[in-house]
Amino acid sequence: MAMAPSPSLAQVYTSPVAVAVWEWQDGLGTWHPYSAAVCSYIEQQFVQQKGQRFGLGSLAHSIPLGQADPLLAPYIIDLPSWTQFRQDTGTMRAVRRHLFPQHSALGQGVIWEWLSDDGSWTAYEASVCDYLEQQVARGNQLVDLAPLGASFPSGPTSSPGSIPATVPIQMPKPSRVQQALAGGTPRPEPEQVIKNYTEELKTAPDEDCIICMEKLSMASGYSDVTDSRTIGPVAVGRLAKCSHTFHLLCLLAMYCNGNKDGSLQCPSCKTIYGEKTGTQPQGKMEVFRFQVSLPGHEDCGTILIVYTIPHGIQGPEHPNPGKPFTARGFPRQCYLPDSVQGRKVLELLKVAWKRRLIFTVGTSSTTGETDTVVWNEIHHKTEMDRNVTGHGYPDPNYLQNVLAELAAQGVTEDCLEQQ
């Protein structure tokens, strides 16, 4: 499948009366809009060359997309044949151009997307976006897309499937269609989390609590700063799986100082109880494949992961709620070998992404900038060749190392079996 980031069609190239939207067609017939910047670039080139007599294959009439978006560096549009050509694989895809009135949905920058199982958003074809917005304007709440004859993929790495005519699509009314509903499942009370994973002991062992460093037979060192109606200052408990023992009030203080997501991590052995989630801001994870091999993995192709996170406002789980955060260097490209183990790492990274564990908001160790999106202890290869930046291949230990880092965040093969 050709590679193109999910679009945002606000500010595409416009004429006084119309907006031009360019799309490419995947191998199963589905059309995908290019991003706003790429649409604008293609249209400008197209207008400049319009009226000339094109010679097939003429480089003078080819548009290198990498000049508009570095992620699209392998791609060239050949105007005479209306195709997108991928230079490293030779793959050719059809392209097309639509003009929409400026008062239409696309003319006003509206784009409709649908949410796949892996949490990523995929744009509908341009004509479908326009049709959906018309239905919203008419007050319709349910729209059947089957009469349009379009098909839609079930995810960035899955095979497309047609939406059945009997399954209407419900249309919500937020200002941004892809905005997730606020709220969600209420988080459990902190005291209940501690009780879920511990067994209270009647007699305290003759050892220290490694959280407060007081004897377990004495009151918790946090009894003067941690309030609880159900846990007393001398209560001691043993964690269910690893059997390490602490003051229950110390565990409560530790939990309340963290993400309060309903999970608990043993401070001694790092065993995770429950499902750990992080503070990663909203964004998008896309997956692509191509045939070029990574150094050290010459027997297989390459998996490209593209993470996109925009600037935003910090939530209650972040260091400075309500304050803006920056997201430098996005979209970020990362590489895995398309091998058995590489595909396993990919599936686990998808789980980590859903659990908001790959990025967080904090202070950049590189620039010192605060309130910015940073990596969160799961290392990625951001270059194909390590000779460029040192963050590429070959690295014979990388896959094993990243599996260990994922496990430290509670993401293991057991998570895949539960899906």
Q: Which two tokens stand for residue 305?
A: 């992961």
- Mean pLDDT across the stretch 391-402? 92
**Residue 173 pLDDT > 60:** no
Query: Contact 120/154 with Cβ under 8 angstroms?
Result: no
Distance CA 285, CA 221 (A): 43
Sign of the C-alpha dihedral, residues 357, 358, 363, 369? negative
Helix, strand counts (H, E) of the chain = 8, 24
Q: Which two tokens stand for residue 313?
A: 């406002």
* Residue 57: band (very low, low, confident or very high) from pLDDT cuts 50, 70, 90: very low
Query: Contact 313/324 with Cβ under 8 angstroms?
Result: yes
Alpha helices in 100-158 (DSSP H): 126-137
Q: Residue 398: in which H helix or E strand, if any?
A: helix 398-408
**Residue 119 pLDDT > 90:** no
**Global model pTM greater than 0.85:** no
Displacement of CA 219 from its chain's centroid (Å): 45
* Residue 227: band (very low, low, confident or very high) from pLDDT cuts 50, 70, 90: confident
Strand partners, 171: none
SS3 320: coil
Distance CA 28, CA 201 (A): 62
- Higher local confidence (pLDDT), 352 or 21: 352
**Residue 371 pLDDT > 90:** yes
What is the biggest distance separating any 2 CA atoms in the chain, rounded to whole angstroms? 91
Q: Is 42 exposed, middle or buried (0-12, 13-18, 19+ CB in 10 A)?
A: buried
Alpha helices in 179-304 (DSSP H): 190-197, 248-256
**Residue 381 pLDDT > 60:** yes
152-186 burial by CB neighbour count: b if 16+ within 10 A, else e?
bbebbbeebeebeeeeebeeeeeeebbeeeeeeee
